[in-house]
Amino acid sequence: MSKWYTGEGKEIRFNDILMKIEEHSIAQGVVYVGTDSFLNDNCCTFSTAIVLHGATGQRGGIYYFTKNKAQKHKYDVLITRVTEEVNLSVQMAMKIKFMYPTACIEVHIDASSPDKKAETSKFSDMLVGYVKGAGFRAKIKPEAFAAASVADKHSK
């Protein structure tokens, strides 16, 4: 399994993150999951973030992230890359849901709405459908902060 880190960059065991998610869920907090990617000369880096926010008595939020590298040529095409981003987020959300069936989980997608002129706009309905079909709430930009802000920060 990949290494996980806190928002401060300290390594953390995934099981410790799961314990934080359990506490957070008991306190009525929402678990946000999002992935972003970055292409450089050699590879494609995917960063998946888990953000915990909105628990009773919580001020601000906390997050964790992991990074995975893949061969660049597999993800040169945008539709392939953004679909993999959503796939990684859905897989993570499913792991969390398996451990904590009552957790409130929302998957964030780094895609713009269909009415925008961004490159990802034409894919957003399909990607939202994938997330909803897996049983999760979905958000796209500008509400998709777990993907478009948190994961984005760590994909570079």
Place of tokens 């590298």: 69
- Give the pLDDT of residue 55: 87
The tokens describing 147, both together, are 């993907």
Each residue of 111-131: pLDDT tens digit?
Answer: 999 988 899 999 999 999 999
3-class SS shares of the chain: helix, strand, coil, % to 5: 40, 30, 30
- Give the pLDDT of residue 42: 87
- Give the pLDDT of residue 21: 97
- Please identify every stretch of the chain with a pLDDT value under 70, giving residue numbers as ranges: 1
Q: Using an 8 Å Cβ cutoff, are 7 and 49 in contact?
A: no
- Domain limits for position 110: 4-155
For position 54, which CATH number holds?
A: 3.30.420
Q: DSSP readout, 83-112?
A: HHHHHHHHHHHHHHHHH-TT-EEEEE----
- Domains identified in the chain, total number: 1
Count Cβ atoms below 10 Å from residue 59 Cβ, excluding itself. Answer: 5
